[in-house]
Structure 1
């Protein structure tokens, strides 16, 4: 007996609420852009430069007491935050102390780090420091540029691949959906001020890969149906294609989310931001594949007679299985 989360044959009308879903997507992108420019991201040490020290203590974290202990060192603005995790025992209290790069210095001197640790141990002599990470301001600036370039390069490569595999209308729809996913993900991180570091960039690139995979599956079925149903309205062919791949979409996304939710709850705070980015990406990527990419392709229109070559379509690789 086979498990089915979706009936074998479905006939949902995914265009029934197209104006509402597409309008919601446009609004979400615009709000995300506004939130990004007004609130900004909570950049991690990778992008700001400086030093992050992780502390563990048997005593409860008191941010005010920690800050008072560090004030005599004259380190400027020091960010102190308690780390919460359901896997921590009642006698394990973790905090993160972030010190931005000091003017004129590429990195905080080891003597300064030792003085900082000694100052914190006046609060709790048994306090330990399981990790210390330092990044210079020059390196952090290069990391920002590299992160932006990696995302743009991946979007450009996908645009070119989809154009070769299908037609330019499919490329525009796929890249628009990916842009939608990336912008809204960044907006969520800005809205909730979730720490944003290099691991989140890795998560965004993973989102791009996952989302385009789901989109290509739908586009492949759409191309097959365009050849099979030459007189059926394009909207109906798209609906049919999404319905035929719906079971695969739900099963793939569902099983992926099971593993990701387990990591999100039990994986610990160190990887929580990365896992959250991918978890959110699976949800928003599945949504955009169904409700964003195909809407744009419908609006732009596609060639229905695949027996004739188009001068504007790079479909010379259309029969390659990839």
Structure 2
């Protein structure tokens, strides 16, 4: 039993270091978002989509370079389904002849292909998507806060909400800092990060609540350490297997879901960190105690205690 206790990790003892790391990540993310806006994809900015089918799988980098040399602006080239099908995104106003122009240019380079479609994504649609996606994130965070407050206690809801906001800001901030393309797949990944982080937080909260009720001590940092250590193996197993799948998607999935995989990888790492050092550790800041979970016994007029 003594050796088991010695193997317990002192998470709460390192919480001030974690607060510093978390604060620095948030500061860098917010400053980047203020001075370097997101590199929004075609879904949000508007532009032209051209889909072509090659006879043989082409070099995507060679296709991109050829189009850029022909002065097409903001070119994005991705494999679309089969390796012979290529989706070309051009951030420019729609021209009815743009599909034929692209095909002619690529054919002149010696490639055989056919035009599948050429269509325009309007900037107005992009504005609506941006507004609706922002509203969707706010609604998701609001519902999460109500759920946690109802299931646990309002102090738990504060920690969970701040943890989710922390995760979203850092993921978006990294996309801003490195100017990674932010499109609808990344937005979907953000919503998935909220779900994953919340699930991890709920597991930790359940164990903390159970440990507080069973413990005979009032040392909250020690109780939190015990609870988090109990969930550690489950957290590492879940995060590890999920990261393996996402790494496979990142390496083998192609450009189409690259942003999605990157956002989820960042979100899982940050979400695992925040479930311990934001969601759980902030319960100490808001002074969670035993009375918040176990109502005090009432006393009768004669001074004898009664059960509530």
TM bin (shorter chain): 0.7 to 0.9
Cα deviation digits, residues 275-306 of structure 1 (max 9, x gap): 22112211111111012111211110114133
**TM-score (ref. length: structure 1):** 0.79
TM superposition shift of 1:67:
3.8
Cα deviation digits, residues 241-266 of structure 1 (max 9, x gap): 10111111111111111222112111
Cα distance, 1:260–1:159 mapped onto 2, change above 3 Å: same
Q: Which residue of 2 aligns with 1:32?
A: 29
8 Å CA contact 2:46, 2:125 repeated in 1: yes
**What is the root-mean-square deviation of aligned Cα atoms in Å?**
2.8
TM superposition shift of 1:270:
1.2
Cα distance, 1:63–1:165 mapped onto 2, change above 3 Å: closer
Cα deviation digits, residues 13-45 of structure 1 (max 9, x gap): 002221111111111011111112222211111
Structure 2, unpaired ranges of 5+: 297-308
Cα deviation digits, residues 185-241 of structure 1 (max 9, x gap): 011111222211111111000000000000001101111111111433111111111
Q: Which residue of 1 aligns with 2:136?
A: 150
8 Å CA contact 1:151, 1:205 repeated in 2: yes
Cα distance, 1:228–1:64 mapped onto 2, change above 3 Å: closer
Q: Which residue of 2 aligns with 1:316?
A: none
Tell me which protein shows more helix as a share of its residues. Answer: 2
Structure 2 counterparts to residues 1-322 of structure 1, below 5 A: 10-53=7-50, 58=58, 61=62, 65-69=66-70, 71=71, 78-81=73-76, 96-100=88-92, 102=93, 108-128=94-114, 132=118, 134-305=120-291, 306-308=293-295
User: Whole-Å Cα distance in 2 between the matches of residues 68 and 37 of structure 1?
Assistant: 32
Cα distance, 1:129–1:246 mapped onto 2, change above 3 Å: farther
Q: Which residue of 2 aligns with 1:319?
A: none
Cα deviation digits, residues 65-87 of structure 1 (max 9, x gap): 53453x5xxxxx71125669xx9
Cα distance, 1:213–1:62 mapped onto 2, change above 3 Å: closer
TM superposition shift of 1:61:
1.6
Cα distance, 1:63–1:208 mapped onto 2, change above 3 Å: closer
Q: How many residue pairs were aligned?
A: 286
Cα distance, 1:134–1:110 mapped onto 2, change above 3 Å: same
Cα deviation digits, residues 43-67 of structure 1 (max 9, x gap): 1111001113356674772756534
Cα distance, 1:8–1:144 mapped onto 2, change above 3 Å: farther
Q: Which residue of 2 aligns with 1:312?
A: none
Bigger relative contact order (CA 8 A; separation at least 6): 1
8 Å CA contact 1:10, 1:244 repeated in 2: no
**TM-score (ref. length: structure 2):** 0.83
Cα deviation digits, residues 70-117 of structure 1 (max 9, x gap): x5xxxxx71125669xx97xxx897844133x3xxxxx2533433343
